[in-house]
Structure 1
Amino acid sequence: MTDPEAEALGAHSAGGPTPPADIPGWFEPLLTRLRQTDASDFTRLPTPDGEGRRQSAVLILFGEQPEVGPDILVLQRAATMRNHAGQPAFPGGAVDPGDADSIACALREAEEEVGLDPSTVDVVATLPTLWIPVSNFLVTPVVAWWRKPHPVGPVDPAEVARVERLPIRELVDPGHRLRVRHPSGWIGPAFRIHDMLVWGFTAGVLSTLLELGGWAVEWPTGRVEELPTPGAAPVP
């Protein structure tokens, strides 16, 4: 078991969990590259130590649908939430005292938020721990293969408005990609897909994973839009 405090120091084990033998071939290039990553591949911000910072984890769940191909599960926060209202995100949240490690946290949060059955999931990697300054969270992304997909949806509509499986072929479509500008001046990658604007931490991680997996294609990086409702948008 991994001590969450140790993970706060920026340690990670991208090659730790053993991928199942029957994992799809399209997954392997990404897993191979993840074993060689560090935090700088995902962010320009150095990961500080864990003192005074909140530990959390998110689940990056890859699945596959007939005639659609590989996809990634995301949720959209309820518009009434005090923090991150209406924003798309990976399932996840703060580490609880009862969580053995980041993997346990990510799976528990996914079960609580979207009704995911953890027994249908094979964890294949944990990514470098990343720092989100605005919330002072240290976030460990957990990558998993959805071996036996099943229906999922918002468990509590007051927290989660909707759940979507975003096909990789749509995520890499240049027509769905753009960059957004925050009032602070920050500019980062975004995706306009399934009637959602995915931006901030989630879009940044997605963009890097698409590159590492060898799926990304050239897209118009000069397309920059102002964030809608900027007064409600936290700095990424």
Structure 2
Amino acid sequence: MRMDFGTDRPGENTRLAPERAPGWMRHLVSRVEGASEHPDVRRVDARGRTGPVQPGRSAAVLMLFSGADHLRSDPPRDAAVLLTHRSPTMRSHSGQIAFPGGRIDTTDLNPVDAALREAWEETGLDRSSVTPVAELEPVHIQASGYPVHPVLGHWHTPGEVGVASPAEADDVFPAYLADLVDPRNRLMVGWSGWTGPAFTINDYLVWGFTAGLLSALLHQGGWEEDWDRETTLDLQDTLAKSRNNEPHYSEPGNRVRFLR
């Protein structure tokens, strides 16, 4: 069932305000420019490895962190990042865990505007409850070459969110930082010569573009704990044990796509 979250206010709250980040996020904000160059992001970045970026096709995603606004450098116990599960009926990236986001429209003022609009369309997020604090360098996705603009935000006044567009996402949930940094929930997965970091959260497998960015943010924020990077598990087998309900990429016609 689609939930009614009212209307969005396009064009509002589109300027970055890094000075308004909570104390526990400030180390991350100060180092966020380096996140795009982190090895885990470079694994899914196609710059220099595929054809030219197609003009007029770009996207934005909202990496929205919630957690009490205090001056301590360590994340509060309730610190979390908002994630969605893309509907298995979607034509692309079906069944994958994603940040809210999508294509930048010509009517969007900038990537922040696009990320907030898309988050509202997918989850009902009230953009006035968010402080946009930073924007990463675009990541060019391997499957398409399209640049994706990651926007970092703090959810200073969390409100109701949920499945606002069932055709796009069938689950919306917080992934708590305590679970993301837990070495028991971290793993490496690989398929057809590609390897990358992954997370297990709520019986979902987070991998590809989303996992690469999450891994880089945990590192840049100083929150990462030692975990097993040496053992690589088969992506297909690991997905089969998850509740993602993703297609089998080994079947003819299915390609690994890293957008979400």
TM (norm. structure 2) is 0.78
Is residue 142 of structure 1 aligned with residue 151 of structure 2?
yes
Higher strand share goes to which structure?
1
Is residue 58 of structure 1 aligned with residue 73 of structure 2?
no
What SS class does the counterpart of residue 178 from structure 1 fall into? strand
Moved over 6 A (4+): none
- How far the C-alpha of 1:135 sits from its partner, in A, is 2.2
Check the 8 A contact 2:17/2:131 in 1, yes or no: no
Cα gap change, 1:50 to 1:136, in 2 (>3 Å): closer
For residues 70-90 of structure 1, the C-alpha deviation after alignment (integer angstroms, 9 at most, x for no partner) is 110010001111111110000
Whole-Å Cα distance in 1 between the matches of residues 173 and 53 of structure 2?
A: 32
Q: How does 1:200-215 map to 2 (within 5 A)?
A: 200-215=208-223
- Which residue number corresponds to residue 188 of structure 1? 196
Whole-Å Cα distance in 2 between the matches of residues 223 and 40 of structure 1?
A: 23
Is residue 234 of structure 1 aligned with residue 237 of structure 2?
no
- Which residue number corresponds to residue 224 of structure 1? 232
In structure 1, stretches of 5+ residues that fail to align are 1-15
Give RMSD over aligned pairs.
2.1
1:208 maps to a residue whose letter is A
Cα gap change, 1:233 to 1:114, in 2 (>3 Å): farther
Q: How does 1:78-227 map to 2 (within 5 A)?
A: 78-182=87-191, 184-227=192-235
- How far the C-alpha of 1:144 sits from its partner, in A, is 0.4
| Number of matched pairs | 218
- How far the C-alpha of 1:140 sits from its partner, in A, is 0.5
- How far the C-alpha of 1:235 sits from its partner, in A, is 4.3
For residues 15-51 of structure 1, the C-alpha deviation after alignment (integer angstroms, 9 at most, x for no partner) is x822354x4221111111125x263233164647755
Whole-Å Cα distance in 1 between the matches of residues 109 and 27 of structure 2?
A: 29
- Which residue number corresponds to residue 27 of structure 2? 29
What SS class does the counterpart of residue 211 from structure 2 fall into? helix
Whole-Å Cα distance in 1 between the matches of residues 36 and 123 of structure 2?
A: 28
- Which residue number corresponds to residue 4 of structure 2? none
For residues 151-205 of structure 1, the C-alpha deviation after alignment (integer angstroms, 9 at most, x for no partner) is 21111212201011011110010000001112x2100000011111000000000
Name the stretch that deviates more: 152-161 or 89-98.
152-161
- Which residue number corresponds to residue 40 of structure 1? 37
1:71 maps to a residue whose letter is A
- How far the C-alpha of 1:69 sits from its partner, in A, is 2.3
TM (norm. structure 1) is 0.85
Whole-Å Cα distance in 2 between the matches of residues 39 and 219 of structure 1?
A: 21
Whole-Å Cα distance in 2 between the matches of residues 92 and 128 of structure 1?
A: 16
Whole-Å Cα distance in 2 between the matches of residues 145 and 46 of structure 1?
A: 28
